[in-house]
Structure 1
Amino acid sequence: MRHGDGGVRTADGRGSYLGRVREVRTRPDRILVCSGYTQALDLLCRMLRSRGADAVAMEDPCAPRYRRVVEAAGLRVVAVPCDDDGLLVDVLHGLDVAAVVTTPAHQYPLGVTLAPARRTRLVDWARRTGAFVVEDDYDGEFRYDRQPVGAMQALDPDHVVYVGTASKILSPALRLGWLALPGSLVEPLGEAKSLTDRGSGVLDQLVLADLIDRGSLDRHLRYLRQSYRRRRDLLVAGLTERGGPLPTGIAAGLHAVIPLGRGGTELDLLARARSRGIALNGLGDYWHEPGKVSAQALVVGYGAPTGSAYIPTLGRFLDLLYGTGR
C-alpha cells in the first residue's frame, strides 16, 4: 500500500490528526509512511537527482547531518541565510535549485519562525520555478506562548512536501515518519521507497492510529507541552537569576539558543562541558562554513534529561556557564 502496510485506517488517522493539529491539507492516498526524517529526505533527494536535479537549498544554519544526507544523494547544498524572520526567501531568486528544505514553524537551530509574508513569497517562488518546498515540521506541536503556527503546506499542497515524525511526540526509538505529498510526487516516491525497503513497521503504525483514535495522543501532547514549558521556564528563570543573556527565538520546541556573554567563548565552554560530562553543542557547529560566522552561542536541549534529573542537570549547566562549579 502506498501509504504504508498499516492500511487505510492508519493513513486516515494520520490525515485527520495532521489536519486538526497542524492544519495540513491532504488525503490518505497522498500520505507516505517512512522510518523517519532522514529516510524522507533521502528519498526526496534521490528522486530529484533521478530527474536531473543538481542542487537543493538549505537554511544556514541547519543540522549538519541533513546536509550530509543531501550530499550523499548526489546533490549540492546551496546555503541560504536566515535572520530573525526566518529564511531569507529573496536569496532564492536566481538560484538553480530543485527544492528548498526549511523549518518554518521553528527554525533549527535559531528558534525563530518564518514570517507570514515570507511564507507567501516562498510558496510563490515554488509555483513560479516549479521547485518544491520541503517543510520539516520537526517540533511544530510545541509552542508555549500561543497556539502553534499551522503548517505552511496548507498554502499550497501541490508545491510543499510536508514531513513529520513521531520522534518528538512519542520517542526517537519509534522510527516512524510521514510525508504529505503533492499529487505529482505520490507515484515516484512510492516507487522509490519500494526499492529500498519492504514497508514501514505495521505494528508501530497501528499503535499510532489507536492512540489517535482514542484521543490518547492529544492528551499525551498536552502533558508534554506542560512538561517542556516548565523545563524552559526553569531554564529562563535560572539564567535571569544569574543576570545572563536569555534565549533567543520563540518560546517553543525542545531546545534553546543562549548567546554567550561573560561566560566565555563557545569553544572554551564546550571543552569545559565535555570535561564535566555535560553534552552541549555550540551554534558554530550548525553553520555551512564553521568559523565564518562570529556569533557565539550554545544550543541547549532540555527535553532529554529524565524528570528527576532535570533540575540537578540544569544547576550543573548554569554553574558551568557562569563559572561557579568545579
Structure 2
Amino acid sequence: MRSTVLCSFVACLAVLVAPAVARANVGVAFVHGTGKQTNALADYWTPAFVDSVRQGLPNPANYVVINCDFEQYMWDPEAAGCLAGQLTSFINTKKITSMVVITHSNGGNVVRWILSNPTYDSRYPKIINTIRWVDALAPSSLGTPLADATVSGNTFEQSLGWLLGYKSEAVTMQQTSHMAFYNKNYLYGTAGRPALPRDFWAVVGTDVDSSPFDSDSYCGGYSLNVGLETTQNWLDDCSDGFLECTSQGGAGYVWLYDSDFAGDEPLSHAQSRRNCFGLDVILRNDV
C-alpha cells in the first residue's frame, strides 16, 4: 500500500514538473579572457569551436559570444558592466531560462565578480538566477607569476606582451598578490571564502608540448605553444604555460585535468579554447 501511494505521488509530481522542464530554454554564453575583443568568435574562440559546442543545445541558435574590454579591472563598466549588458540582452532577446557560461582564463575572474557581488549592479541578480553553472577553462583564479614579471618591468616584459598585454589593468589585477587580496575581500569560491551561488567548474591544463614532430603540438597554434613552453620555465612544473595548476583550480571545483580526457596530451593555455583532444565534445555534451 505504501509503495503504491508513493508511486502515485511520484507519477503526479512528474506530470506537474514535466511542463516546466519542457519550457526550459537553454542557452550558452562564451566569455573570452584578457583582451579587448570586437570579434571574439573569429579572433579568440574560432567558429569551429563555438559551432561544435553549441550543437549540444536543444536549440543551437541559443548562444552568444561576448565581446568586451577585459584589459580593464574586472569590476569596470567596460569589463563586468559590458558582460552584464550583453548577457542581459541575450537572456531577454532569446528568452533564456537556463544558461551555461563557458569562459577562459581571466574571463573567469570577471564572471566570478558578477557571481560574488549581486548587489553591485541591478542586472546581476537576473544573470545569476539564469546561470546553471560555469565551465571555466584554465581560469586565472589565483593570478599568475607571469603578471608579476610583466608589471615589474624586468626582462620578460617585452616577451610576455604577446601573451598578457603590456601593463594593462587586467595584467596588474592578475598579479598573485593582487588576486589574493581580491579573493580574500571581494570574490567568492576560493579556500576560506563563501561558496559561489552557482557551481564554477574548472578545466586544468597541466603541461605544454611544442615538439615539431608531434602533430598535436600544432593544435591551438604551434607558435603559441612554443612561446608557452618557454614561459613555463618560470612557473611550477604543473602549468599550462600561462597559469599554474593551483591557480586554475583555485576557485570552485576542479572538473577535469587534461589527463582525464586527453590521455598523454597536455592542454596548453592556447589549446584550452580550441577543438583540441575532444575538449569541444566534452563541453558540447555538458551544455
Question: Does the pair score TM above 0.5?
Answer: no
Higher strand proportion (structure 1 or 2): 1
Please, what TM-score do these two structures have when normalized by structure 1? 0.28
